[in-house]
Structure 1
């Protein structure tokens, strides 16, 4: 099979699902490739999608995303042709990457009722998260009175910023270290959804490339 993708979009797609730190399975159709991965500790889930063009039936491949990112540096140009044979994923006929076995187990996506919805500048949020790691391991998202607030509290220090408008009310605590990993490389606007003591869902739409991150909360005492 053979599909053509935007090279930068493909790199963003692979980089996003690689954040789980596990081998990934990618489903490829003639119009889209997608992947759902969960980290080894089952703390967060990543759903990535990338538009593509090709003539093929659906296929699922197992890949080492870290290796793809390293070898992709050799490939130039705006578009990238992906070819798949029995044992390799080929990048522009120049680089062949060995495929991995595919599991028959499908990842179950949780059904969630998240009543808080907000949009925020992910670059600004990431900067607060990275800075907050100097004083704490967790941050609290608060939606109240139509405002989205992020609060990071250490033993003696505190950081508190309003990040925009929010619909609904709720609060929950999340890992700064994991948020730092998930937000890395995203400088645009993202949609945040959460509820009191429920997972945080971060949705990012960059046109051809789309990704959703779902992060479990830390339940407060």
Structure 2
């Protein structure tokens, strides 16, 4: 029987119900294979084991027949397959446990496989966003935070811009149709930021003697 690991969520990807004036504009998750390539350098890992295999066969062929030298490369091929599958499984688990949400007020990121956490990033706390799109339509949206908002690089990895540790930049990574999502984000952020921010303060009345009283 299928069991939802996040069935405690009142709304998928969110820790609580949305206020009446807030609505979901888009939800999505990373593509597992693309996440494995971008966050775990899967292509480089495969290339590394291919290099080791070729090197081992080349070295062995100097001392033994070529058919025997090919057998010497088999352990490296098997090791490469095991490591590749392990990386893909890790990326798949991370992708499955991740939900990115755009509302008309904020960006929400439910991340973490073993230790789940939800990041709530209001548009007013986002100073800029960068989009990196690929030819297949997948890509990453990186968010630059402003003000005193600080995030832990290690706690939010791999949902961050790589190597930006001093000022962590959260990122919606390996998402399909990234150009469409970026448009939704831009329109929602522009609308939200352009709205006046009203702050409630105490009001005072001046008495007949000119002394302020609450």
Q: TM-score range by the shorter chain?
A: under 0.3
> Structure 1 length normalisation: TM-score?
0.25
Structure with more helix by fraction: 2
> Which has the larger strand fraction?
1
Instruction: Give the TM-score normalised by the residue count of structure 2.
Output: 0.26
Larger radius of gyration: 2
